[in-house]
Amino acid sequence: MSALRLAVFDMDGTLLDSLPDLAECCREVLAQCHLPLLSDAQVRGMVGNGVQALVERALQAALEQKAEASGALPAMPLSTEEAVSRFMAAYTPRATRLSRLFPGAEEALRRLHAQGWLLAVCTNKPEKAARRILSDFNLTSLFASVGGGDSFAARKPDARHLLGTIAQAGGTPARSVMVGDMPPDYLAAQGAGCPFVFAAWGYGAPDLAHKVEAMSMQDVPAVLEQLIPA
């Protein structure tokens, strides 16, 4: 008997339109540092490599904006650790205040689950935040595994993050598919030997559009069925 099929989803930009809350929390940290505030569009291009990368990119962009206005590059106002701590203090209690599942996401997940697919999340977001989001949207029971950015010794694009999530879900790489919108998702899938589906509706990278593509979450069950038939 073949191993169960496993669909592994990235979270930000794939299952969840999280940009509004991420951007608001970035602006909160920047305001505390008396730095220029960034727009949602500016923050969008910074999402995908985890909280530390997001916060560092936001601070650097704001510092550069301030330097353009003043003619001198100011010093970094906070250590990376303190900036991340302040961001998470703002983000954790409000992770779903403005964020919403992408259209069709819940229906697609429930359809896959009903068809016998195992489901997992592999995200560079901290596991606690990812689990809180799934709970807020009443999706926890659908998922066999949640691999956060702090769940294993490595995180995407390192394949060990995806492989750990697959193992935790009870799947095998040969019968698993990674669905995501960013290069770290694709690179993790490539390293793990899994097919990759590009979430074209997300925050993604246009250079991934030549990969197996789904234009909306509604497309995902049919696309996955073609990649790994029952």
Q: What is the mean pLDDT of the chain?
A: 94
Whether 10 sits among the annotated catalytic residues: the reply is: yes
Distance (Å, whole) CA 214 – CA 201 = 8
Predicted confidence at residue 1, as pLDDT, reads: 47
| C-alpha–C-alpha distance, residues 181 and 213, integer Å | 10
Q: Provide the pairing of β-strand 6-9 with 118-122.
A: parallel
Q: What's the pTM value of the predicted model, to 2 decimals?
A: 0.92
Write down the pLDDT at residue 2: 64
User: Any idea where the domains of the chain sit in the sequence?
Assistant: 6-17+100-227, 19-94
Cα distances (angstroms) measured from residue 185 to each of 50, 188, 191? 12, 5, 10
pLDDT tens by residue, 179-199: 999 999 999 999 999 999 999
Q: Tell me which CATH homologous superfamily contains domain 19-94.
A: Putative phosphatase; domain 2 (1.10.150.240)
Q: Say if CB 3 and CB 118 are below 8 A apart.
A: no
Asked whether 208 and 20 are in contact (CB, 8 A), the reply is no
Pick the catalytic residue from 10, 17, 21, 181. 10
Which residues on adjacent β-strands are paired with residue 146? Answer: 121
SS3 212: strand
* CATH 2.60.40.10 matches 6-17+100-227: no
